[in-house]
Amino acid sequence: MTQHVTVRLSSGAIRGRRLDGHLSFRGIPYAAAPVGERRWRPPAPVTPWSEVRDATAPGNPAPQLAQSFADVTAVDEDCLTLDVTVPEAPGTGRPVMVWLHGGGGTNGTAATYDPQRLAVTGDVVVVAPNFRLGVLACFGHPGLADGGTFGLQDQQAVLRWVQREIARFGGDPENVTLFGESYGALMVAAHLVAPASAGLFHRAILQSAFAVMGSTPAHTFIPGVPALAPSWIPAAELDWLGAATAAEHGWVTPGSDPESALAQLRRVPVADLLQASAAFIRPAFGGPTLPESPEEALPAGRFHRIPLMLGTTRDEARFFVGLFADLAGNPVTAESYSRLLAEAFGAAAEEIAARYALDRFPTPSLAWAQLCTDRAWARPAWELGRVFATYTDTWFYEFADRDAPPIVPLPGFPAGAQHSSELVYQFDFPGGPSLSAAQRALADRMNRYWTAFATNGDPACADLPAWPDAGTGHVQSLAPGRIGGTDYVAEHGLDFWAHMP
């Protein structure tokens, strides 16, 4: 028999469920639906309700089209909801962890991640929101105020909701950790710089943050993809891109003034807008929400000085090479390897080819994946960690279980500790892979480190291997049966890459 539990919020009462060892509240609105005239506007307050609202089913995913790595299609813009997971044992003043999901900026939903193990293991309250993505989050157009920041503003609304309401779930609004993976970690970096985010969270964890600072040469993100633009776009450039995209798709009448153009754009069916979503994943800077690019602000120390954790997986790029090259029927070959190197690195290609000689690897695809892991993931993460450690207490990790069960299977391709592989250790996934006993033990230790950091601003646990801070150069390797320091710089050739494009 299902047991229900009711919590009264400032907007009205909600009814969640009592499950095995935890309480679950899902689909709680934290802002008004951004539909109609509210499309591309800041999140507005919810309308209070009088009856007890059911909170046992997840909210709508943000509008998105299914991808090879995310089999979810959604077109309902009424998506600004969050889930709360609480240990069943009575308690107050628990640390709070707010999770920002990944998905490339176009995909993802909170419902995919079940944080009950994290919550119960660490005695923390976990909040997981949905927020606008892609063209609905990062669109800009002449006349559109503070364009390119609507997803970021949604997340700020979540953090303000936590300040108002989380004590009702036994959480401590003065001890909030913001953590995210991949695109979610990129957004955490934005919050570290965004003025209005100051004071809304007190610690942060960035898991596999991609290209927060620096360049990404051609093919090093995905083979066949040109050099990536910076992760942050100037507001004026975004306005130009939005206007050009709207004209190209015929969404506005030629010659329309900005006000009438925006009115037309707010009537375009969301399914049509989603066709252009991939072009609008970069948060804009130069407006009120994000005045300065994190790429400039972070190295200069202009960010909220709070304890920080960050890290990568051992084989980040195997996900992208395996999924978008090998499984797409276009594996890297000895011939294409030379071409990719030349197009990515120009005059330095020969020296890099000697460092990553094909005879050192089982296949050219695995050689390219190692090169990309080192250049596009390890190097920028290490540089970001050094920046953080200059200004605040920082801890660095590497998830290194090369037998980790992948969330997205790569049949016939050695997945290793690929991008996102650590998530199975932190969360449960519907129909997802299972862990061995040794991997489950690692998962428990990881969740204890993560929640100790959320509790105390330091991942140290008395009965777990010591974890020195990144200021000492220490990187904590996390693998079954082996937790301890690793030579991250040597492992990823970072002294070599320091002199390369």
β-pairing, 476-479 vs 284-285, is: unpaired
C-alpha 101/C-alpha 446 separation (Å) is: 18
The Cα angle at residue 178 between residues 58 and 85, in degrees rounded to 5: 35
Sign of CA dihedral 316, 317, 322, 328: positive
Q: Hey, CA dihedral for 486, 469, 173, 79, is it positive or negative?
A: negative
Question: How far apart (Å, rounded) are the C-alpha atoms in residues 386 and 384?
Answer: 5
For residues 282 and 232, what is the distance between their CA atoms, to the nearest angstrom? 5
349 token code pair: 């290609």
Type of residue found at 87 = P
DSSP 118: H
Closest by CA position to 307, among listed 431, 458, 192, 123: 458
Q: List residues with catalytic annotation.
A: 182, 316, 419
User: What span, in angstroms and rounded, lies between the C-alpha atoms of 63 and 274?
Assistant: 8
Q: Which residues pair with 85 in a beta bridge?
A: 24, 126
User: Which helix (H) or strand (E) covers residue 396, if one does?
Assistant: strand 394-399
Residues paired with residue 70 on neighbouring β-strands, in sequence order: 67
Other Cβ atoms closer than 10 A to 48: 9
* Residue 115 near residue 177, CB atoms below 8 Å: no
Cα separation of 420 and 107, whole Å?
14
Q: Which of 133, 141, 147 is nearest to 42 (CA)?
A: 147
Rounded (10°) CA dihedral 447, 451, 453, 456: -150
Instruction: Read off the amino acid at residue 86.
Output: V
∠ CA 190-194-196 to the nearest 5 degrees? 140
DSSP SS3 for 347: helix
Q: Which residue has the tokens 């252009």?
A: 276
Q: Extract the tokens encoding 414.
A: 């050695």
